[in-house]
């Protein structure tokens, strides 16, 4: 059983992808032994009717067996009345968390509006997923030149919100977490963008990243789903490490939430 | 339990990609199984990684090579093509590229049946590059040429090197990026590779990284039949191999990783996740490069 915490539904704005239709995604998940995916919506990047995006996401997830696709809604704090979107994510759609896209929505992590949003999410006991980057900026579509999220404010934010559970997506590209950990236990990373031979093994052994804070993530369907599965095989890991990374940590994270 | 996840084996890897995880098979039985099935015409089962470097691990060259092989084994990759040495200078002096090639030559000795070398040249130094090509390929064990970012490869200074490659039956692997931000100085793109290849129709060229911006990179080499696209060294973005096969045919698509900076797993997954026939997957994972290398290996008395 694998829990993949970094999956999207719907369509990437400028490319069709082999698994961008949910039945095909689910079929591949089953073949690879992925029993649960935490999903956001690609629509959340550019659509401004965020409530429409979240409603479709919730409906799509509800069409599949319970627990297979777990929706993480979007909140854009630059839009009027964003608190209502946050409320609906939790109270109407029973989402355990939200996935934020500051770079696509026009704010930074040290923007006061971000602080307000995190305070609200913390008060509600929601998980906050934060993708730092969606694609390779060297080959990004020329009309979608969105800057990557600057992770520098992250350590302070994590420290300032000890009860908020952060899941940093696409944050291990350099072979280490995008922002240094300083003993905080409320932040988790996944390894979709982790590169290098034996990357997971090196992250745990050489970088000393705590295994209890590492999650399985694929960034599918932008990335193929197989990459993350094969990374587990490429690295030499103990049974306990595999269990923690593939599902133990994610299960614990979800279970400790007050959002559901 | 994840521990019940069966290991990826060579046979299942070739047959069905990473979904093979549900399938138990024994590594190393591929060839006999194929022969027994009366399908000798099928491409080889061996998996070749045509793009690896001595990076990502500490130690001497041989120690690094052993590490590369150890992890290659974990994902059932049989053979590695190694190049560039330690210095990784974009435009090395002749002295420097000779030292880099010496390092690779020493490394090849660690596992001569599994490690193959491409000679690193700098076409800004044509005469010295030709001498180095003779030293490492004509008179040595290397079987191809690696060109990086010293010069845009449509430059006429590449012609004598390509001509000599043709005489030696050596393959040329050219780094080629097509960025949506400006390319690096002197960095080739797939269109440059196609231009050079069109002037040398008897030489096989590998356009590395599919240009990274692969929707352009694949198109950029489409019209020139002696250019092969290789899928190493960029994110495992879904759909690249499907597009390459659709536009070029599986006979012109080659697997490589750019290890150790890149993961074998992330790069291999591009091929394993793609919706391909078994024959197409075999070609991409090893059949095509074996076909390209067979003439020079035969000249060197190396049996595949």
How does pLDDT run across B252-281, given as a tens digit for each residue? 999 999 999 999 999 999 999 999 999 999
Cβ-based contacts of A145 with chain B (< 8 Å) = 180
Q: Which band of pLDDT confidence, cut at 50, 70 and 90, is reported for residue A257?
A: low
- Compute the radius of gyration of chain A from its Cα atoms: 17
**pLDDT at residue B25 above 70?**
no
User: Could you tell me whether strands A2-9 and B115-120 are parallel, antiparallel, or unpaired per DSSP bridges?
Assistant: unpaired
Q: How is residue A71 written in tokens?
A: 């929706």
Helix (H, G, I), strand (E, B) or coil at A4: strand
- pLDDT tens digits for range B40-85: 455 678 999 999 999 999 999 999 999 999 999 999 999 999 999 9
Out of A231, A236, A242, the one facing B2 most closely (by C-beta) is A242
pLDDT at B19 over 50: no
Per-domain residue ranges of chain A: 2-255
Can you tell me the distance from the alpha carbon of B120 to that of A207, in angstroms, rounded to the nearest whole number? 32
* ipTM of the complex in this document: 0.96
Tell me the two tokens of residue B66: 């052993």
Which sign does the torsion angle of CA B110, A234, A170, A136 carry? positive
Residue range B46-299, CATH number: 3.20.20.140
Angle between helices B94-108 and B126-133 (to 10 degrees): 20
Q: Cα separation of B166 and B150, whole Å?
A: 21
At A249, is the secondary structure helix, strand, or coil?
helix
- The pLDDT-based confidence of B29 (bands split at 50, 70, 90) is very low
Contact predicate A170/A132, CB 8 Å = yes
Q: Does residue B196 carry a pLDDT above 60? A: yes
Degrees, nearest 5: CA angle A100-A73-A83: 75
CA B40, chain centre distance (Å): 24
What the block records as the tokens of B212 is 């990274």
The whole-number average pLDDT for the span A94-118 is 98
pLDDT at position B9, please? 62
- Residue A35, pLDDT score: 98
Q: How far is B6 from chain A (nearest CA, A)?
A: 10
If pLDDT is split at 50, 70 and 90, which confidence band does B304 have? confident
**Element (H or E) spanning B236, and its range?**
none
What is the Cα–Cα distance from B119 to A25, expressed in whole angstroms?
42
DSSP string, B272-300: HSS---HHHHHIIIIIHHHHHHHHHHHHT
Give the chain B residue whose CA is nearest to the CA of A242.
B2
- CA gap B146, B150 in Å, rounded: 11
Please, what is the angle between helix B159-168 and helix B126-133, to 10°?
10
Rg, chain B, Cα only: 18
At the second CATH level, the architecture of A2-255 is: Alpha-Beta Barrel (3.20)
Q: Give me the pLDDT at residue A182, please.
A: 84
Helix and strand numbers (H, E) in chain B are 12, 8
Contact A227 B265 (CB under 8 A): yes
Which alpha helices (DSSP H) does chain B contain, by range? 10-16, 30-36, 61-74, 94-108, 126-133, 159-168, 190-199, 214-221, 240-248, 264-272, 278-282, 288-299
Q: Which residues of A touch B180 (CB under 8 A)?
A: 138-142, 145
Give A126's contacts (C-beta < 8 A, 6+ positions apart): A86, A89, A90, A95, A96, A97, A98, A164, A257, A259
Peptide bond preceding B260: is omega within 30 degrees of 0, i.e. cis?
yes
The residue ranking higher by pLDDT, A153 or B44, is: A153
Mutation for testing the B interface, residue in A136, A139, A244 having most B CBs under 10 Å: A139
Higher pLDDT, B13 or A205: A205
Q: What percent of chain B has pLDDT over 70?
A: 86
Interchain pair B270, A142: CB under 8 A: no
Question: Is the CB of B272 less than 8 angstroms away from the CB of A197?
Answer: no
- Chain A nearest-CA residue for B178: A139
Q: Taking 80 as the threshold, does the pLDDT of residue B26 lie above it?
A: no
Element (H, E) at A65: none
Cβ of B269 and A230 within 8 Å?
yes
What pLDDT sits at residue B249? 98
A253 by DSSP, 3-state: which? helix
Q: Which of A196, A222, A231 sits opposite B237 (nearest CB)?
A: A222
- With an 8 Å Cβ cutoff, is A112 touching chain B? no
Rounded percentage of chain A residues whose pLDDT exceeds 90: 96
Q: Please, which pLDDT band fits residue A7 given cuts at 50, 70 and 90?
A: very high
SS3 A116: helix
H helix or E strand, kind and range, residue A101: none
Whether the per-residue pLDDT at A260 is higher than 90: the answer is no
């Amino acid at each position: 059983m694998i829990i993949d915490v970094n999956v999207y539904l719907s369509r990437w704005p400028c490319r069709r992808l082999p698994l961008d239709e949910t039945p095909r995604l689910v079929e591949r998940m089953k073949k690879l032994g992925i029993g649960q995916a935490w999903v956001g919506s690609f629509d959340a990047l550019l659509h401004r009717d965020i409530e429409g995006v979240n409603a479709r996401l919730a409906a799509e997830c509800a069409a599949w067996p319970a627990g297979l696709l777990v929706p993480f809604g979007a909140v854009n704090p630059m839009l009027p009345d964003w608190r209502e979107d946050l409320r609906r994510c939790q109270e109407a759609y029973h989402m355990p968390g939200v996935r934020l896209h500051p770079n696509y929505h026009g704010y930074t992590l040290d923007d006061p509006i971000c602080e307000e949003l995190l305070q609200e999410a913390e008060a509600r006991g929601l998980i906050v997923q934060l993708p730092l980057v969606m694609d390779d900026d060297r080959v990004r579509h020329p009309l979608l030149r969105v800057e990557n999220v600057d992770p520098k404010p992250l350590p302070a934010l994590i420290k300032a919100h000890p009860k908020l559970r952060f899941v940093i997506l696409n944050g291990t590209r350099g072979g280490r977490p995008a922002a240094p950990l300083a003993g905080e236990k409320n932040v988790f990373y996944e390894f979709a963008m982790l590169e290098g031979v034996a990357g997971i093994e090196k992250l745990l052994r050489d970088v000393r990243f705590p295994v209890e804070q590492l999650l399985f993530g694929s960034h599918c369907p932008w990335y193929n789903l197989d990459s993350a599965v094969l990374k587990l095989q490429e690295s030499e890991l103990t049974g306990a490490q595999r269990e923690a990374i593939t599902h133990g940590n994610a299960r614990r994270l979800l279970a400790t939430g007050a959002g559901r | 339990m994840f521990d019940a996840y069966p290991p990826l084996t060579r046979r299942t890897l070739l047959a069905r990609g990473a979904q093979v995880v549900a399938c138990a098979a024994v590594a190393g039985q591929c060839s006999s199984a194929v022969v027994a099935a009366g399908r000798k015409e099928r491409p080889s089962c061996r998996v070749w990684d045509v793009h690896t470097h001595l990076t990502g691990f500490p130690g001497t060259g041989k120690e690094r090579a052993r590490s590369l092989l150890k992890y290659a084994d974990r994902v059932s990759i049989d053979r590695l093509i190694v190049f560039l040495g330690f210095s990784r200078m974009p435009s090395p002096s002749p002295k420097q590229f000779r030292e880099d090639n010496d390092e690779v030559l020493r490394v090849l000795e660690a596992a001569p049946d599994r490690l193959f070398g491409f000679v690193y040249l700098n076409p800004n130094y044509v005469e010295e590059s030709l001498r180095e090509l003779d030293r490492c390929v004509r008179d040595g064990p290397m079987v191809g040429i690696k060109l990086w970012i010293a010069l845009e490869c449509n430059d006429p200074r590449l012609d004598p090197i390509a001509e000599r490659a043709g005489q030696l039956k050596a393959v040329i692997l050219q780094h080629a990026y097509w960025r949506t931000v400006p390319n690096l100085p002197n960095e080739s793109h797939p269109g440059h590779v196609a231009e050079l290849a069109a002037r040398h129709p008897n030489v096989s060229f590998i356009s590395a990284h599919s240009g990274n911006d692969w929707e352009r990179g694949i198109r950029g080499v489409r019209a020139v039949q002696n250019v092969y696209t290789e899928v190493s060294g960029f994110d495992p973005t879904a759909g690249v191999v499907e597009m390459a096969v659709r536009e070029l045919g599986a006979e012109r698509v080659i697997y490589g990783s750019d290890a150790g900076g890149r993961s074998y797993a992330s790069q291999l997954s591009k091929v394993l996740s793609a919706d391909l026939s078994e024959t197409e997957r075999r070609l991409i994972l090893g059949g095509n490069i074996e076909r390209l290398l067979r003439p020079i290996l035969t000249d060197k008395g190396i049996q595949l």
